[in-house]
Amino acid sequence: MADFDIQGIVRDLHDARQQWRQAHRPAGEVRGIEFPSRDALAEIVAQLKGVLFPMRLGPPGLRRESEDIHVAHALDSALHALLRQVQIELHYSAALQQRTDGDIASQALAATQAFGAALPDVRVQVDSDVLAAYQGDPAARSVDEVLLCYPGVLAMIHYRLAHRLYELGLPLLARIISELAHAATGIDIHPGAKIGAGFFIDHGTGVVIGETAVIGQRVRLYQAVTLGAKRFPTNADGSLQKGLPRHPILEDDVVIYAGATVLGRITIGKGAVIGGNVWLTHDVAPGARVAQAASREEAFGAPGDPS
């Protein structure tokens, strides 16, 4: 029988954990912390997608006359499961910061109720994203195809749900839900970003949207677009300053083509078009066209599908 030195590996792993805890929690280990579950949240999001779009993302064989019954059952199950994850995050945050937050059970219930009440609005926002994809892609044959197949729409469903949790003060749950979509699609949208209605990500792989990005209505991005930070200010001790506005603002009706990199707290004006592979770190006027060759503003053809 093979000998894997299990006890020796267990001992070395124990030592590695202790080294991490001593280095990163010098005030002492907070024992008994439970962490939110990625698997539980994946199941919750799957249920919520069926709640939002029961006939297309719900269970196979569902009939129209049973739609409301399914939605009620799935919603009740999803919100009760989510409530448990909300409680875990609130306990985790309180323990990590060594503070007492009072009645966490009541806070968790209020947050989960607010999230549930926001789901009809989430549905309306996702509908606008689906319609933007259908109208903006000549290859799309139906809105059903868009909802069922397009990675950009999947990423936006996750984002719209995650952003609600982020606004409710649950950033860890929000980030896990966003990262589930990131893993599945290659589209990385931070749940803190603010994105208006009718947002369309065409193709999608490699798109990155940072935490403090602000995106208006009817904006279109193509694959490998980055809305990132130009620099990262630090504190006196050298640690990064958190939460500063550091990502771009895109006004309504902006189009950014494949491979463009837009960095810093700059504003891309309404109706501007940014060409492929542009590296941009300055404001762009409304209606302007920025071409890749020397990143100069110039007139070129109306935006269309480059494929």
List, for residues 190-245, the tens digit of each pLDDT value: 999 999 999 999 999 999 999 999 999 999 999 999 999 998 888 888 788 887 99
Domain 35-187 homologous superfamily, CATH: serine acetyltransferase, domain 1 (1.10.3130.10)
Would you tell me how many other CB atoms lie within 10 Å of the CB of residue 194? 13
Q: How is the chain split into domains, by residue range?
A: 35-187, 202-307
- Among 150, 146, 210, CA closest to 185: 150
Residue 296 confidence (pLDDT): 52
Q: What pTM does this model have?
A: 0.88
Per the CB < 8 A criterion, the answer to whether 52 and 119 are in contact is: yes
Separation of CA 232 from chain center: 21
- Among 133, 126, 105, CA closest to 48: 126
What is the C-alpha separation between 276 and 301, in angstroms, rounded? 13
Amino acid of residue 240: L
CATH architecture of 202-307: 3 Solenoid (2.160)
* Alpha-carbon distances of 240 from 93, 232, 244, 246, 249, rounded to whole Å: 20, 7, 10, 12, 22
Residue 96 confidence (pLDDT): 77
pLDDT in tens, 174-189: 999 999 999 999 999 9
Per the CB < 8 A criterion, the answer to whether 217 and 236 are in contact is: no
Per-residue pLDDT band at 299 (split at 50, 70, 90): very low
Per-residue pLDDT band at 101 (split at 50, 70, 90): low
- Among 179, 147, 166, 117, CA closest to 55: 147
The angle at the Cα of 96, spanning 173 to 117, to the nearest 5 degrees, equals: 30
| Residue 110 confidence (pLDDT) above 50 | yes
